[in-house]
Amino acid sequence: MNADYDVVIIGGGMVGNTLACALGGSDLKVAIIEARPAEIEWPPESIGMRVSAITAASQQIFTALGAWDAMSAMRISPFREMRVWDAEGNGAVHFDSAEIGQDKLGHIIENRVIQAALTQRVTAFDNVELRCPEQLEDLDTSGALAQLQLKEGGTISARLVVGADGANSRVRQHAGIETDGWPYHQSGVVTTIHTELPHQETAWQRFMPNGPLAFLPLNNGGCSIVWSTTPEHADELLALSDEEFLIALSHASEHRLGNVIEVGQRGAFPLNRQHANTYIGNHLALIGDAAHTIHPLAGQGVNLGLLDAAALAEVLLDAHAKGKAIGATHILRRYERWRKGDNLIMMTAMDGFKKLFGSEALSLKWLRNEGLSITDKLPVLKNQIMLHAMGYKGDLPALARYAAA
Ligand SMILES: Cc1cc2nc3c(=O)[nH]c(=O)nc-3n(C[C@H](O)[C@H](O)[C@H](O)COP(=O)(O)OP(=O)(O)OC[C@H]3O[C@@H](n4cnc5c(N)ncnc54)[C@H](O)[C@@H]3O)c2cc1C
C-alpha cells in the first residue's frame, strides 16, 4: 500500500530535527510537522533565555549529522570543570576534565542555536520536507497505514509516525499511551547574568533545600542560570525588580563568583517527571520529551532525547536496508528495548539526587555531605561520574560513538 510518506515526525524541536537529519540522505521519504518556525536570526550580542548543557556524545551526534560547525559558528560555550556543593554543610565535589584526559566536559548551547543549525541542515536534504507552520490535529494508527489529520494540509498517510512533540505530546495522547510520573513541585527559573568574577569555564551548582541553583558558563563571560525552587518562590523571584533579583541571586550563590551585576529577561518552567509506559505503538514511536521528562539538575533531558533519535534512526535504516516494514511493532520494539531502560536509569538517578539533596533529615544531610566529600577523594569514582556526564556510558548508537575510548 502506498503512503504519502515513510516517516512523519510530529515536532521539529531539537530531538525531532535530529531524527530528520539522521534519516536525511536515505531513500525514506520523511516529513516534519512543526507548529512554530525556528528562530534563525537575532542580534549577535543577545543570548537566548533557554540553553542546554550538551554532552560530548550529543556533540558527536551533531558532528556526524553535519550540524556542529554551524552551531560553533553561532555560539557554543565549552566548560572544563564542574563544582558541586551542599548549601547545608561542607560537602563539595570538583570535577575536572583534565583528570580524564579531556579538554572539556561539555558545552552550553542556546536552544535556538541548536534549532537553527538543525533546521538549516534538515532543509538541505531532498528526502526531508519541513512543513511549518503546521500542526497535527488528529491521528489514526489503527489501519495498515497511519492517517494524520493536519490543521492546514488535510489528511496524509505514513508508514510510521514519530511523536517528537514534547512533554504534552498529542501523538502520545492520540495513541492512548499512559505516563507514569509526578510533579517535582518545583519550577526552574532561567535567565542570563554577569558576575563580578570570571566563571573560569566552570559549571557551578549549589544544592539548596528548595532545589539546586546552577550557573552555566557562557563564552561572552556571563552565565546562564537555572534556579530550581518551589513554584511559589519562583513566582516571587519573577516578581522582584532587577536590583532585588541581583541581591537574591548573589546571596543564593554564596557570592562564589562575587556579586551578580547584570541580569537579562527571566522566565520559569514547571518541572515534572514523566515517563511513557511504552515508547511504541502500531506504526508509532515516541522520542525525546514526548517519551520522558527529567529534572534538569544534571542537564540530561535533551541529551537523552538525542540518543533516542539516533537509536531510532539506526533501527529504522537497518530494517529498511533489509527490506523490512519500518512501522512494524517487532522492529520498533528494538528501539524501545534499546532506550527505555537507559532512560529509566538516568531518571531514577536524578530522582534519587533530588530527594537526597532536598531532604532536611539530619541523617540524609550527613550522608550527602559525607558522600560529596568521599566522592571528591575517589578519582576512580569521579572519573566514572564524569564519563556518565559526558554521555559516554551505556549502549550508544553509532552516531554518538566517539573514535577514541
Ligand atoms: C529549565 C530547564 C532547563 C533544562 N536544561 C537542560 C540542559 O541543560 N540539558 C539538557 O539536556 N536538557 C535540559 N532541559 C530539558 C530540555 O529542554 C528538553 O529535554 C528538550 O527541550 C526536549 O526537546 P524535544 O525536542 O523532545 O521537545 P520540545 O523542545 O518540547 O519540542 C517539541 C516540538 O514539537 C512542536 N509541537 C508540539 N505539538 C505539536 C503539534 N501538535 N503539531 C506540530 N508541532 C508540535 C513544538 O512546537 C516544539 O517545537 C531543560 C529543561 C528545563 C525545563
Question: Is position 49 within any domain?
Answer: yes
Structural domain harbouring 279: 5-78+105-181+272-359
E runs forming strands in 319-399: none
In a domain, 47, yes or no: yes
10 lines ligand 1 (CB under 6 A): yes
On whether the CB atoms of residues 118 and 14 are closer than 8 A, the answer is yes
Instruction: Indicate which CATH number applies to the domain containing 55.
Output: 3.50.50.60
Alpha helical stretches, state H, 164-241: 170-174, 231-239
First to last CA, the chain: 45
Instruction: Give, using CA atoms, the residue closest to atom 41 of ligand 1.
Output: 136
Whole-number pLDDT of residue 51:
97
Q: Verify whether ligand 1 is closer than 6 Å to residue 135 (CB atom).
A: yes
- DSSP letters, 253-271, are TTTBTB-EEEE---EEEEE
Atom of ligand 1 nearest to the CA of 188: 1
Give the Å distance between the CA of 345 and the centre of ligand 1.
Answer: 20
CA of 289 to the centre of ligand 1 (A): 6
170 lines ligand 1 (CB under 6 A): yes
Which pLDDT does position 405 carry in this prediction? Answer: 38
Domain assignment of residue 68, yes or no: yes
Ligand 1 contact, 190 CB (< 6 A): yes
| Ligand 1 touching residue 327 (CB < 6 A) | no
Is residue 210 within 6 Å of ligand 1 at its C-beta?
Answer: no
Measured distance CA(132)–CA(12) in Å, rounded: 9
Q: Is the residue at 54 inside a domain?
A: yes
Render the burial of 326-346: b for 16+ CB within 10 Å, e for the rest.
bbeeebbebbbebbbebbeeb
**Per-residue pLDDT tens over the stretch 48-58:** 999 999 999 99
CA–CA gap between residue 382 and residue 392 (Å, rounded) = 14
Q: Is residue 145 part of a domain?
A: yes
Distance in angstroms (rounded) separating the CA atoms of residues 93 and 334: 38
- Can you list the alpha helix ranges (DSSP code H) found in 65-122? 68-74, 111-122
Domains held by the chain: number: 1
CA of 307 to the centre of ligand 1 (A): 14
Q: Is 269 touching ligand 1 by the criterion CB < 6 Å?
A: yes
Read off the amino acid at residue 202: T
Q: Is 110 in the pocket of ligand 1 (CB under 6 A)?
A: no
- pTM, two decimal places: 0.95
Predicted pLDDT at 347: 83
Within-domain flag for 117: yes
Pairwise CA distance, residues 90 & 320, whole Å = 55
Centre of ligand 1 from the C-alpha of residue 227, in Å: 18
Between CA 340 and CA 180 the distance in angstroms is: 13
- Within a domain: 225: no
Whose cell is 539530619? That residue is 362
Low pLDDT (below 70) residues in the chain: 402-405
Question: What is the reported pLDDT for 338?
Answer: 97
- Residue 214 inside a domain? The answer is no
Q: Is 299 in the pocket of ligand 1 (CB under 6 A)?
A: yes
Whether 13 is in the pocket of ligand 1, judged by its Cβ within 6 Å, is yes
Residue whose CA is closest, atom 29 of ligand 1? Answer: 13
Residues 6+ apart with CB under 8 A from 5: 29, 30, 31, 129, 156, 157, 158, 159
State whether the beta carbon of 391 lies less than 6 angstroms from ligand 1: no
CA of 94 to the centre of ligand 1 (A): 29
Q: What is the pLDDT of residues 209-225, one digit of tens each?
A: 899 999 999 999 999 99
